[in-house]
Chain A
Amino acid sequence: MIFDIEVNGKTIKARRGEMILEALERNGIAIPTLCHMKGLSPSGACRMCVVEVEGVKELVTSCSQPVEEWMKITTHSPRVVHARKTIVELLLANHPDDCLYCVRNGMCELQDMASEHHIMERRFPGKRLQLKTDPSSSSLTRDPAKCILCGRCIRTCDEVMGITAIDFTHRGNQTIIGTTAGKGLNLSSCITCGQCIMACPTGALHEKEQLSLVQQALHRKDSYVTISYSPTLAVSIGEMLGLKSGKDLSGMLNAALRKAGFRKVFNNVAASDINISLVADLVVQRLKKGIRQPLFSSCCPAWVKMAEQFYPELLPQLTPVKSPQQLMGGLVKSYLVNAPGVRPDQIFHVAAMPCTAKKFEAQREEMTHKGISDVDAVLTTRELVRLIKLYGIHILQLEPEAADDPSAAGGFSSHVTGMSGGVAESVLRDVYFKLTGKEIALNKLGKLRSQKSYKELIVKAGPHEIGVAVVNGSMALRQTIASLKDRKDLLFIEVMACEGGCVAGGGQPLKSDEDDIRNRARALADLDSKATMRAAGKQQLIEPLQQGVNTLHPDTGWDALCKTIFAKRSVI
């Protein structure tokens, strides 16, 4: 039911059941918020969204008060503006004056609030809480001194992700956001997905910085630095360079990275293709053996950590195949760098990903063999853009170049693995081919690309029935796992911790909205539709690599390069 209310002297339309904030925003009236999270119930913690409602003594928070016909609202009266300004000043009074040295300089909601409210002096001198940073996690750094206690990270971890690794601890002015028993994040149940970083308005949460490691490697005379980036990253970095979301910059990226000093530049889509093929082989094997129990994907390291912590009984069902990132690293270190006089220990391989959990994955014990790590450093999308800017590269003015072998041939077909449903779809395609010798019609698979939190598809492949399912987000996993794990009709289940898939990963550009994420996915789908090599071409890709690796490394070989293990993990 729609009715009129009066706001700032004008009449606007409001809907029964909505909050004042929604009605105002729909009518183009901007109200500042800090603790508001779209789609979740109002928190009421920051008090920034207060408005004056005639007849009500206190100021009313527009995020939590439903609209009513009798309301006469003033959104920017002197009393309201003074209250909002004071609230921001109070936050600044307990905040380090560190803007110039902060990772969020220029991208910080507190900075925005301070300038929007014309704060020109430090009105509240006084002691600040001295809090130590928590650098324990390999993927995230927590800086509680910069935390404004808006609670968005907690709600993300609890209500969106279903992990609940962090919560408010202590009380009042001593409140800090912490883990169970106040231990480091690395000991907690954090799955390193980085979604909390995406929710954080300030620099209190950011990825573990590895850009300086990469810089050092680039500057070392005897290092041979290589990089492999995810296609998801290539369709996302444009947003941080002033472009509209959804442009694929992989060609320019190849040129830019070479200019920055990387000796070899790979597009990770090739490793993705290899990974999918290996997984499809396992699926077919189990099918032929008559094992009626689904396999789970293992390319999402946050999901892997979640399984190791909470569902160790599922570990035997996780595909023991290294993720594309790690596969590429292994290939680079053992085969792809064919330069004379370059020892494997001189190669420094960087992976650039839309993900923070990949930093955790790269340092897992099993990813280092005899002192040589598959991947030496992982940069998020955000860090990679910093690197490009750091070296003064005008990426948008460069001529596109092709990436290095094996991906130079281009045209690979697993770009869609960057969106939810993409891995399952890719595996399904390969399995179909391996069973029937034919390529499946792509228009049959659209169901898997929807935004739903759970999707499944069963197709006939000759005498067989291939069932795949997609679990879209760690919360969805929590809700569906009980019925899923013993399904006899599903062969493969894709699990992504981040809802929407890697396009919405924890390492992606901040301040993006649903449209941006949709556009990135669409760009990946576009690349997929232009792909020339399908399931049929996989053998041509894999065979030479397999032979080459086995020749160079007769004792370990291809198997050792591709396989990985999982183990139960104890967390607090």
Chain B
Amino acid sequence: MSTTSTTRAGKDEWLVGYLLDTTGQHSDQYAERLRILRNEKLDKPLITLLSGSCSQVHKVEDIETAIQHYLEDNQRDARLIRTACNGLCAFGPQMGIQLPGKYTLLLQKVDTGDVFDILDAALNYNADPEHILCQIPVRGAEPWPGIQLFSQLPMIQGQKRILMEWNGIINPEQIDAYIAHGGYRSFIKTIFNYPAARVCDLIEESGLRGRGGGGFPTGRKWKIALNAAADQKYLVCNADESDPGAYMDRELIEGNPHQVVEGIALAAYAIGASKAYIYLRHEYTLAIHRLETAVQQAKSLGLLGSNILDSGVSLNIQVVHSPGAFVCGEETALLNSMEGRRGMPRTKPPYPATRGLQGKPTVVNNVETLANITHIMAHGPRWFMDIGTGNSKGTKLFSLAGRVKYQGMVEVAMGTSLRDIVYRMAGGVKDDSNLKALHLGGPSGILLTPDELNTAVDYEDLKSLGAGMGSGGMIVLDEHACLVDTARFYMSFMQAESCGKCIPCREGSRRMLDILHSLTHRPANEAGHETLERFKGVMQLESLAQVMKDTSLCGLGQNAPNPLLSALTKFRDEFEEHIFDRKCRANVCRELRVFYIDVEKCTGCTLCARKCPYDAIIGSPQYPHFVVEEKCTGCGICQAVCKFSAVFIR
């Protein structure tokens, strides 16, 4: 086959030959070089810094400088690469040290000050037990004695890491490493051997469903676009991830951007699109850099562009920086935003697969959905169908946050129970306190009670609980969380992010927020009938919520009432405490806190009265002081400054 593209980097031309050898009959030629690219044949130590966007928080720059100083001072030679997070966020900063012939040591919680000691030990084949978390197997190398494997970690056991497999290990800014690990083989094999319709069939057969939260069968959506007659079609990758606390897509892009690029390329081929766009939120600066680099590298190698490797297939991918609004994650608002208009959703029908970007058939897919494509094409739909449940196939990424021992990212097979995820993979609730509720699915999601934790990760099972799976954000709440305030928080988020086009969402979310605000705050003047107003307000919440769900134009409005409705149904007593008793059992709602001073303990030092910003404390020096309830806003400054622990919350 002629390979005379002028854009190809000369020294990597053999990689193209390797990719074009789809039957593998010439694999011997490439074996050595691939082993080197996979770091299975090291000539000197390899030090990996596992950090994505968290690198600034973890001061990875300083750690890198310390490593370089050590190597210089000790005249040691080692290769240093930066990868990305492997999902074990609670154990960061993590560092990998791979010595020639040995498994990779994975170290946790590395401080700048520890670097010298760690390297001193490790580079002299002395595994320092203090920081070692585990070891990662390397083909053809020796394990270290007495150190558990990565796969044996309790946090990792129970996970099924297909998409996350190379996160933290592979250099995300190196296309040859990705190819050496099997990347882009699916793409090249597909464009030379399968017609687009066949690819759609295979994906539909696999049962892959949209991972952005909608759960729509991916293959079916592709077929609609493939069968629509048009002179131009588009594939858009929705990377506008904006759920507070969710970072699955960011991890995928930062850790293995080529996996996403290949998925996009396969999807674009399957629907007959010669142009693909990645709508990536501009706040993800590292993800933007890595994705743009990946696209550029793929282009240089000839894997993107016109007439890719003489296959007749043309595809160009462009990264679009999203201006950053939650509502632009809704596909029609996203398309409007890409067209330069206000990010307000359009009426559906027509659906984007029929009429989308610039009126052409457009498929909008989530990052995680697309990351699965290359694996399904590599192993076949049957392999994918064997993972998961009857109607939910494959794996799902979840980001765990809140009051868990090990915050981080996990990838589990569909059908795994939520209990397993929280207690096994995330280590259970922090400080071993009791789980009050599990919030699943971000601002469009629901609260689950501890009993409901036995539910499996499955689209239909979770839908039967009141809302879908969501995009993967999971937040654990214990007694430190006020569920009324949680509902208020998510409603305020939705109200701020509402685009304003339709009345139920724009006005409804405002009124619901007003009511929730009255539950969690003191009113301006506490007249006698406020309790009745609050109670009426809660009745209206349910009625308004139903109208919002019934009539809102897009998913934002339709799902905004979910956290509130689930909190009201399952944790009604907390609401009633706020309404009638004006009490917040978690002491989160500051204005409901009323402080009082224990006269036995108070020495009359007057410090609290002087510090009180609202002049709500009265008393004479040397005599016990008194909090004026009407003026107290519950800020807690008095309690903080009292040296005699005399101030309490009523």
Contacts and interface: CB of A to CB of B under 8 A. Distances in A.
Contacts of A148: 503
B547 interface: yes
Contact of B514 (A44, A126, A149, A172): A126
Nearest to A63: B347
B553 A172 contact: no
Nearest to B544: A86
A47 B514 contact: no
A90 B508 contact: yes
Interface residues of A, number: 38
Interface in A42-82: 42-47, 50, 58-59, 61, 63-66, 79, 82
Contacts of B551: 47, 50, 58-59, 83, 87
Contacts of A44: 346-347, 501-502, 553
A47 B540 contact: no
B547 A167 contact: no
A123 interface: yes
A172 B511 contact: no
Contacts of B349: 64-66
A58 to B, nearest CB: 6
Interface of A is mostly: loop
B496 A172 contact: yes
B471 interface: no
B520 interface: no
Contact of A45 (B502, B508, B509): B502
A173 B549 contact: no
Given A58-B558, A61-B347, A168-B342, A86 B549 contact: no
Interface in A140-185: 148-149, 151, 167-168, 170-175
A65 B547 CA distance: 19
Contact of A173 (B498, B504, B543, B544): B498
Interface in B491-506: 495-504, 506
B506 to A, nearest CB: 6
A204 to B, nearest CB: 15
B507 interface: yes
B550 A124 contact: no
B510 interface: yes
B562 interface: no
B540 A124 contact: yes
Interface string A80-112: 001100110011011000000000000000000
B552 interface: yes
* Most A C-beta atoms less than 10 A away, residue of B346, B495, B499, B550: B550
Interface in B521-552: 540, 543-544, 547, 549-552
Nearest to B505: A172
A127 interface: yes
B506 A173 contact: yes
A110 to B, nearest CB: 12
Contacts of A93: 507, 511
A293 B1 CA distance: 63
Contacts of B499: 171-172
Given A66-B349, A94-B510, A50 B550 contact: yes
Given A44-B502, A46-B503, A47-B502, A172 B497 contact: yes
Contacts of B169: none
B325 interface: yes
Nearest to B344: A168
Interface string B130-157: 0000000000000000000000000000
* Most B C-beta atoms less than 10 A away, residue of A45, A47, A59, A172: A172
A94 B547 contact: no
A151 B509 CA distance: 20
A108 B499 CA distance: 26
Given A47-B551, A58-B550, A172-B496, A127 B507 contact: no
A83 B552 CA distance: 10
Given A61-B347, A172-B497, A175-B500, A47 B552 contact: yes
A151 B342 CA distance: 13
A185 B497 CA distance: 28
Contacts of A149: 500-501, 503, 506
Contacts of A63: 347
Size bracket, chain B contacts = 20 to 34
A48 to B, nearest CB: 8
Interface of B is mostly: helix
* Most A C-beta atoms less than 10 A away, residue of B348, B540, B547, B558: B547
Interface in B236-289: none
A357 B54 CA distance: 59
Contact of A91 (B507, B509, B544, B552): B507
Contact of A126 (B347, B503, B511, B550): B511
B347 A172 contact: no
* Most A C-beta atoms less than 10 A away, residue of B342, B499, B507: B507
Contacts of A59: 550-551
Contacts of A83: 504, 547, 550-551
B593 to A, nearest CB: 24
Nearest to B554: A44
Contact of B495 (A50, A64, A151, A172): A172
Nearest to B548: A86
Nearest to A80: B550
A482 B508 CA distance: 47
Contacts of A47: 502-504, 551-553
B346 A173 contact: no
Contacts of A43: 347
Contacts of B509: 172-173
A536 B551 CA distance: 65
B342 A167 contact: yes
A193 to B, nearest CB: 24
Contacts of A168: 342, 344, 500
B340 to A, nearest CB: 12
A127 B514 CA distance: 8
B424 to A, nearest CB: 35
Interface string A488-523: 000000000000000000000000000000000000
B243 to A, nearest CB: 17
A496 B540 CA distance: 51
Contacts of B497: 171-172
A173 B551 CA distance: 17
B504 A87 contact: yes
A171 B500 contact: yes
Given A58-B549, A87-B547, A124-B540, A45 B501 contact: yes
A173 B502 contact: no
A307 B499 CA distance: 35
B230 to A, nearest CB: 19
A177 B558 CA distance: 24
A42 to B, nearest CB: 5
Nearest to B556: A172
B510 A126 contact: yes
Given A45-B501, A58-B550, A87-B547, 19 more contacts: A44-B346, A44-B501, A46-B503, A47-B553, A59-B550, A83-B550, A86-B504, A86-B508, A90-B508, A91-B507, A124-B540, A149-B500, A149-B501, A168-B344, A171-B500, A172-B497, A172-B506, A173-B495, A175-B500
Interface of B: 325, 342, 344, 346-349, 495-504, 506-511, 514, 540, 543-544, 547, 549-553, 558
Interface of A: 42-47, 50, 58-59, 61, 63-66, 79, 82-83, 86-87, 90-91, 93-94, 123-124, 126-127, 148-149, 151, 167-168, 170-175
Top 9 nearest A-B pairs (CB, nearest first) are: A175-B500, A64-B347, A44-B347, A90-B507, A172-B498, A126-B514, A86-B547, A47-B551, A173-B510
30 contacts: A44-B347, A44-B501, A46-B502, A46-B503, A47-B551, A58-B549, A59-B550, A59-B551, A61-B553, A63-B347, A66-B349, A83-B551, A86-B544, A87-B551, A90-B503, A94-B507, A124-B540, A149-B501, A149-B506, A151-B501, A168-B342, A171-B499, A171-B500, A172-B497, A172-B498, A172-B500, A172-B509, A173-B495, A173-B498, A173-B509
